[in-house]
Structure 1
Amino acid sequence: MCMTGEPAQIGSLYDNCYSDAAAGYPDADYTPAVSPSGRYANMTAALASLSRPILFQICDWGVDFPSAWAPALGNTWRITNDIIPAYRTVPRILNQAAPQTDFAGPGHWLDLDMLEVGNNVFTVPEEQTHFSLWAILKSPLVIGAALKDTYTSIAAASLATLMNEDVIGYNQDSLGVAASFRRRWTEDGYEVWAGPLSGNRTVVALINLDDTARELTLNFPDVGVQKVATVKDIWNNITSTNVLTSYTAPVEAHGTLLLEFIGTTTAGSYSSNDSKTSGQTTTFNKVYGSTTSNNYTATIHFASAMEASSTVDINNNPYTLPAGSSVLTAALSLSATNNNTITITSPTTPLSLTLTPPNSTFYPSTPFSLIGTSTFTSCSGLCAPVGSKIGYLSPTGSASLNITSPSTSIQGAKLAQIYFCNNDIADSTSWTDGTNTRNMTISVNGEVTRIETPLSGRSSELFSVGDGWFDTGVFKVLLEGWKEGGNVVEVGNVYGSEGIVSYGADFVGMGVFW
């Protein structure tokens, strides 16, 4: 409820801020004629005139994209339609939160709606996922279950979830920064969210999207980290020390691997403590490569400079370390894996190794050739960074481009960034099968990879240019099939005919890390 009159009229003129009527329920079609922000501003002014602190929680169900205006007016704001007593509501809400988490901060946070923990509608791992993600995104943790009443008592496992002090601590952390969506492995069925905590700590959530329990691996560089002094595995109740590059653990169906990192090094940084030395040969194992490429740059710092120039072998390739220098920079080849090996043979001991991955080459949608029902759309200067996009990607509509790899490139899996637009918000469908996602397929020389994109919209779907459909998101994906020379790339949604959202996300362009 919110006020429609002047502050002096508090208590007499309230109605639902979503309705155009003087009283009654929200418009059934979710289309108010004017933004409700002005009415909430009236309430903000009224509350500011009082002499006591008040938590002001705003709710327009996310339709007018309150993340753009609510932080200046209230403490929390609902970003989606209501949660429902079915687990599919959790990924649906997270897919809507994905483009909005950077609007949150100390004193103002996204409201993902109340908790279903304890209502006997989720499994225990699902409740842990629900509670974990609401906590690290800094949503209000509003218990929606009866802890104990005449008819029921909350299950012990559910109560233990709600009482987990670590998870509550992440929610209440003094830094107040929400975790953000980092990567989704659509075909492998998991995704990663992460964010900073006070005390130079990091919290990471890896969600098992599959219906089966399995072991999953978090590659630390996917959240900007190479080594962790202490890893706290919250739901498995395990603490590990000095963990390099990756962490593997069992995760239940729809469960979450929730980790706290204490003491980290930056992705790509390796010290002598991460290596083994035998004679003049030093070996670094568990070296992470984000893309298969000859174009990594290795920077090696040695213990001392040599009086004369010397030869340093890196993976059996000779390089010259100039006289008087203790730093060597060299090109390096790595595969897209977390288990590369780098061997350095030199007369002086390496102290550290820093790896810099290759830059990407961007390919806009404009030179792609349309096939079937796909169409070009101008975006009035939006759809960054191109200004236009290709839409109506479907089983009968796609777009293709012949891409010639750089002369230094090698065949193999390449990391790509897909620039997309998706504002297919699940309003009325949130009660049924709405997901807030759209799919896209990218084929490289006939090898097809499917991605499921979250929302990208960061504008009002009612009053902005393009209604949020001109806002670009970026989705990282490893694409197989690349070869040296010419490559045929086709974007579409070939699986739409199999029931996975007939129309794909709109395509703005792609960056390839050669």
Structure 2
Amino acid sequence: MRSSPPFRNRGVAAGLACVLLSGLAYAAPASAASPPPAPLARGAQAPAMGDGLALTPPMGFNNWNSTHCRPEFNEAMVKGIADIFVSKGLKEVGYEYVNLDDCWALPQRDADGKLVADPVRFPNGIKAVADYVHSKGLKFGIYTSAGTKTCDRIGFPGGLGHEYSDARQFADWGVDYLKYDNCFNQGVDAKKRYTTMRDALRATGRPIVFSICEWGENKPWEWASDVGHLWRTTGDINDSWGSTLAIMKKNLPLHAYAKPGNWNDPDMLEVGNGGMTDTEYRTQFSMWSIMAAPLLIGSDLRKADEKTFEILGNREVVAVDQDPLGRQGEVISSEAGRWVVAKEMADGSRAVALFNESDRPQRIATTATDVGLPQARGYRMRDLWQHTDAATAGTVAATVPAHGTVLVRLWADRDWKSYPPALEAGQTDAWFTEAGVPAEVSTTVTNLGRQKAESVSVDLTGPAGWTVVATSRTVSEVLPAGRTLRTTWRVTAPAGTRPDVYGLTLTVAHRSPGGVRVVREQPVSAGVVVLPPPGVSFLSDSSWLSATNGWGPVEKDFSVGEAASGDGGPLTIGGTRYTKGLGVHAPSAVEYYLGGECFSFSAKVGLDDETGARGTAAFEVWADGRRVAATGVLTNALPAQHLSAVVAGAETIRLVVTDGGDGMSYDHADWADATLDC
């Protein structure tokens, strides 16, 4: 069974293990070797590539996230993607590379040591595919590994020891971009392996963007700026919120290393693959852009819906990523999952992301001066998803949906009076309601500008069948600067509505002093809940409010297994099997509604046996945002640990598993026999 992260991320240890099992030995030819670069002085950066390539983060497509090595990865798919880049306008937006990933070759080289394209997948050969891509005005990329084999289970030929020959083949085929992976690397120094391929690519005389994919294991941001144009900072991403969040957090602190020609690479986009919500996909696209990350589409665009194209084709967000100044956004604050990230732009403006890590809406705020703009009487603020302009006195604030991101661009603008005042709208807090039982909720609209807003009105609408009735005023003839219109509502979900989080829409309309009518929709949410049953009950028999997982979905009564739902085995810790519980993969968080009706929680926790001797994790129990119980860092060598907590009076309980500090690797964790006493 393949353990997550997938086999292609196992690195040096896996490569050595496979070689030992096969009885093979490897020695790099002397002609292929080059001395490792001299170490840099502490705190110094290596010089940039200086070849004029990748002056902005590369944009394009890579098939791996959507196809892996399945048969649909073939010549027809690659040509189809190139066609879609043109027909859907993605080429005009800036996407240019159409890249192959693993499994394009036959498992063996030919008699001359050359790579051979799989004749079933690519019956006309690689050059014919590259020529087709070029005929569309696009560029073509290919993949191999800085080892004896590539990362797929079959293990196609890698480039170690064949760098100059392979680079020559790639150049002859018309390759414009090389992704160079890290499997079966035989323990050869990473700098040496990647520098050799750099030199081989340069020797061809063809301009080829060089993507270093060694998963951040050797901190390439510290040494690779004169070796590659971009370098992976993390292991492989997967199509889940937990994976996206974990990777984002690893990449954000590396802002100092990004610059034109050199980019931190947190892996490809998952937008459109179906494992996350549109809100989460907009967050990935927003955060990758403000981090100046490569934008490589990872979904099969032949099957994509219009929402996917809308996200990928947002020119204003792409402009943040492609800004020629080449800065990566810096974290301004991140308290309680409320992230503010700001990026300096070439025209002196700031792109600002208000990102909500948590599972419920939160108000996130900053100021123009906090993000680096000079003091001014007023500022122009443009919402890059709503495509609207407004004027603010300096506050940038929004109620951001769970896992959502508000992305704005901010200028110190002497013409700020020509824009309508910015109105911040949202709910004062998340709310819960039982189906058929009215819930009292409130919303606010606050004027962040310096001018008054006139004829302000609000309206709240819910899903079909919901009843929403205002119980206080919904109109303000004049809303002065800094003032708030607060409205209360009685919201009722129909009887029989299944437990889940549901979206509602708060519509705010107003007229600016210049007579401009402005209408804006703000998403809000409500959780439909069911009280836990009285007595002692298993959590896995109840519906959670929210669940995030580092790899694959959270599983009920089974281990997490792999990326697919239901692919785990029995919950097993230290050789003991459990029939009830939750299987997760760190980092993970699962939240349940208690409604103040429960007294205590209990579980037996530990690393599942399916990962062998690998993995670490720490377990935490949170009640209403307060940690009430925790373990230390656990390993597979430990038996199940008993973990209990008092949760009397709490509205919610949140079960959290962290990765133990060693990254998201094989951290299959079990909440066995997890029960509530209510």
What TM-score do the two structures reach when normalised by structure 1? 0.48
What TM-score do the two structures reach when normalised by structure 2? 0.37
Q: Which has the higher contact order (CA 8 A, sep 6+)?
A: 1
Question: When you count helix as a share of all residues, which structure comes out higher?
Answer: 2
